């Protein structure tokens, strides 16, 4: 969601803030702005649109010049995207940037209006700025006292970067729910929504906990709790380089990240394999503990939920353990039947997804054990879960997830193998064989990536479509859900996935002449049934693109185009079969001229409900 940066040091603050915001563009935004101390006066520049629009505005109206300030990319929640509603927002001597939602802002706004306060924007953020200034004045210019009193009044999720006009050499920060870090440099210090924003300046950082207040100056960064006690923080070091967050010669981050998938798989699974068998003990998972789980719930959002769907099929087939897959936002509000003896697996790339985090907390409250599969170290979900598996995908900048999904399903396979072995549903020989096959998938993915021309040809057939359908059965259906999501979110073509066997129960009525249907058929025991469904849509005029394995060649009149996959174990076909679906989505978006890495209305990390 919204991105926050802050800086105090010797460098040009505007340049540092703009660089940091550029690194946070992947989070999704519709406006941007900065506030910089210029000759002890706070100068604000903000604009609806992209960072380029803000840069152009500063070029025409003057760029703030100073050595301390805060910056923001906004994803609108309260108030439409506009120059006025863009952050930063001010109130008296206070200027702030904010990520999150203030749930009781109307009550607070009414209170402040009665106190004579006048508001310029429609945002909940300006309410916080005005409230901070109200308490700042009431407490005779004590910024920390004003922050503490404001925190006690706020309900909701938030991360705040704050500057006070009377303290031109200070940047303040605080958080609840929404992520925020403090970057530690030499003679300069930073705040940011994530470490990506500051990697070009420092790899050292603190993780702010809920209710903590950071005070930054050139000399250092101090962190206090709500009782004004100084908090000793553990200094963390980012374990990846700024070059990993750059395009590296690729046209888009998404294409680069698709190509990084083989190495991401290796980095994720290799440390968790010992003597040819999965070993997740370092994640808090032992065979003895696995034996205690009677039922599994997978809870996630979007792409991560699709990874959970693949996991469901694999776990149930191998381990014979019942698995429910829930959308996190639904799980929270349906009074789920979860309790002692259950395992709830939370999957989240960012580890900050609001609905998933609340689902984790609810599961623990109900007595279940929790396992988190996340990519972001030190994230909220990672810190609160009982057991934790980090995926080692490295930074994923494109909003449309590719390599994060790939390592999520790789982890689900490892977990399923170890669970099945612990439950006695497979023996060591079979577990070793499956683990070995999993280790071979990076080479097969690399083989597909070396021959992308077919995906480009297929994409050229899709760009004029108004709507299309993905179909499959079993694991192929789980996979088609992800393929459909990738296409719609970056190409803006309406697309839906459907279980192939359900076509005749309604969806087949949508088939019109030359409507594209992408059929995924990789499972040996379901191939003929899927082909039968393909013939049904073909008979009604559909243009069929078949994604299938080399040893399955249908009759010539079944498919108009075919993407042939390397041979693979049926159970592991989702690892390779998703790659052409990613490439088809990517090249379709490129041919349509959309913003591939930053699709409209979408955010990388959804930190609000």
- What's the CATH superfamily of 3-238? Aminohydrolase, N-terminal nucleophile (Ntn) domain (3.60.20.10)
- Which H or E element spans position 578? helix 573-592
The mean pLDDT of 459-474, rounded to a whole number, is 92
- Give the pLDDT score at 312: 97
Closest C-alpha to 36, from 66, 11, 6, 1: 66
Q: Is 604 a catalytic residue?
A: yes
Q: What are the Cα distances from residue 481, in Å, to 240, 340, 499, 581?
A: 31, 31, 9, 10
From CA 513, how far away is CA 426, in angstroms rounded?
Answer: 48
Is the confidence at residue 244, as pLDDT, over 80?
Answer: no
- Give the pLDDT score at 101: 82
User: 452 Cβ partners below 8 Å, 6+ apart?
Assistant: 583, 587
The mean pLDDT of 11-19, rounded to a whole number, is 94
Place of tokens 């960072």: 51
Is the confidence at residue 202, as pLDDT, over 80?
Answer: yes
- Give the pLDDT score at 242: 61
376 pLDDT band, cuts 50/70/90, is confident
Residue 63 CB coordination number (10 Å) = 18
Contact 170, 127 (CB under 8 A): no
The answer to whether 3-238 and 453-592 have equal CATH topology is no
Catalytic residue among 48, 486, 543, 604: 604
Q: What are the Cα distances from residue 405, in Å, to 45, 401, 408, 577, 592?
A: 37, 6, 5, 13, 24
Q: What is the pLDDT of residues 115-162, one digit of tens each?
A: 999 998 888 889 999 999 999 998 888 999 999 999 999 988 889 999
Is the confidence at residue 401, as pLDDT, over 80?
Answer: yes
CATH topology for 253-447? Rossmann fold (3.40.50)
Q: What is the pLDDT of residues 541-600, one digit of tens each?
A: 889 999 998 777 667 778 889 899 998 899 999 999 999 999 999 999 999 999 998 888
Q: What is the pLDDT of residues 424-456, one digit of tens each?
A: 999 999 999 999 999 999 999 999 998 889 999
Catalytic residue among 2, 283, 301, 431: 2
From CA 120, how far away is CA 567, in angstroms rounded?
Answer: 62
249 pLDDT band, cuts 50/70/90, is confident
Answer yes or no: CATH 3.30.70.20 is held by domain 453-592.
no
The mean pLDDT of 331-343, rounded to a whole number, is 91
Is the confidence at residue 469, as pLDDT, over 70?
Answer: yes
> Would you say how long the chain is, in residues?
609
User: Which among 20-29, 138-147, 345-354, 579-588 has the top mean pLDDT?
Assistant: 579-588
Q: What are the Cα distances from residue 223, in Å, to 146, 203, 553?
A: 16, 18, 64
Local structure of residue 61 (DSSP, 8 states): H
Q: Which structure tokens are listed for 169?
A: 């050499």
The mean pLDDT of 74-99, rounded to a whole number, is 81
Q: Where are the domains of the chain?
A: 3-238, 253-447, 453-592
Q: Which structure tokens are listed for 39?
A: 């000759």
Q: What are the Cα distances from residue 370, in Å, to 220, 413, 489?
A: 37, 18, 30
- Give the pLDDT score at 129: 93
Is the confidence at residue 609, as pLDDT, over 60?
Answer: no
Q: Is 431 a catalytic residue?
A: no
How confident is the prediction for the chain on average, in pLDDT?
A: 90
């Amino acid at each position: 969601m919204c991105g926050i940066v802050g800086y105090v040091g010797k460098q040009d603050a505007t340049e540092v803030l703009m660089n940091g915001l550029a690194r946070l563009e992947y989070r999704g935004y519709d406006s941007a702005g900065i506030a910089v101390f210029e000759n002890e006066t706070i100068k604000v520049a903000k604009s609806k649109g992209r960072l380029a629009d803000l840069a152009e505005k500063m070029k025409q109206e003057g760029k703030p010049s100073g050595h301390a300030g805060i910056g923001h990319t906004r994803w609108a929640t309260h108030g439409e995207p506009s120059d006025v509603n863009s952050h930063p927002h001010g109130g008296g001597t206070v200027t702030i940037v904010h990520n999150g939602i203030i749930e009781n802002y109307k009550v607070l706004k009414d209170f402040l209006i009665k106190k004579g306060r006048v508001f310029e924007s429609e945002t909940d953020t300006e309410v916080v700025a005005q409230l901070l200034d109200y308490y700042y004045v009431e407490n005779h210019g004590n910024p920390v006292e004003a922050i503490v009193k404001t925190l006690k009044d706020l309900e909701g999720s938030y991360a705040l970067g704050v500057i006070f006009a009377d303290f031109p050499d200070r940047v303040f920060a605080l958080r609840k729910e929404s992520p925020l870090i403090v970057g530690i440099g030499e003679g300069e210090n930073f705040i940011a929504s994530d470490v990506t924003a500051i990697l070009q300046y420092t790899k050292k950082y603190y993780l702010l906990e809920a209710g903590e207040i950071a005070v930054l100056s050139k000399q250092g960064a101090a962190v206090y709790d709500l009782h004004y006690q100084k908090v000793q923080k553990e200094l963390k070091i980012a374990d990846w380089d700024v070059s990993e967050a750059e395009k590296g010669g690729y046209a888009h981050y998404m294409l680069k990240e698709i190509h990084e998938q083989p190495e991401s798989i290796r980095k994720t699974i290799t440390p968790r394999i010992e003597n040819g068998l999965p070993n997740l003990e370092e994640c808090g998972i032992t065979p003895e503990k696995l034996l205690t789980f009677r039922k599994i719930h997978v809870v996630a959002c979007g792409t991560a939920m699709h990874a959970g769907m693949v996991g469901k099929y694999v776990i149930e087939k191998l381990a014979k353990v019942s698995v429910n897959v829930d959308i996190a936002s639904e799980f929270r509000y349906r009074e789920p039947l979860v309790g002692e003896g259950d395992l709830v697996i939370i999957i989240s790339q960012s580890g900050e997804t609001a609905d998933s985090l609340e689902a984790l907390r609810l599961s623990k409250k109900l007595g279940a054990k929790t396992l988190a599969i996340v990519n972001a170290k030190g994230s909220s979900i990672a810190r609160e879960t009982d057991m934790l598996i980090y995926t080692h995908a490295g930074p994923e900048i494109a909003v449309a997830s590719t390599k994060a999904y790939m390592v999520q399903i790789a982890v689900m396979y490892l977990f399923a193998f170890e669970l099945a072995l612990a439950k006695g549903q497979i023996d060591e020989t079979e577990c070793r064989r499956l683990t070995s096959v999993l280790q071979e998938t990076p080479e097969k993915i690399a083989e597909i990536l070396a021959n992308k021309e077919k995906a480009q040809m297929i994409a050229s057939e899709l760009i004029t479509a108004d709507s299309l359908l993905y179909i499959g059965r079993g694991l192929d259906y789980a996979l088609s859900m992800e393929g459909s999501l990738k296409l719609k979110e970056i190409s803006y073509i309406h697309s839906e996935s459907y279980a192939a066997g359900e076509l005749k129960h309604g969806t087949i009525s949508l088939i019109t002449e030359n409507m594209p249907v992408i059929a995924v058929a990789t499972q040996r025991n379901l191939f003929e049934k899927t082909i039968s469904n393909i013939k049904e849509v073909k008979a009604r005029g559909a243009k069929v693109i078949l994604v299938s394995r080399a040893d399955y060649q249908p009759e010539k009149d079944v498919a108009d185009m075919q993407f042939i996959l390397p041979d693979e174990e049926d159970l592991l076909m989702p690892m390779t079969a998703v790659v052409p679906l990613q490439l088809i989505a990517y090249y379709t978006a490129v041919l349509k001229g959309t913003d591939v890495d930053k699709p409209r209305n979408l955010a990388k990390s959804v930190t609000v409900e």
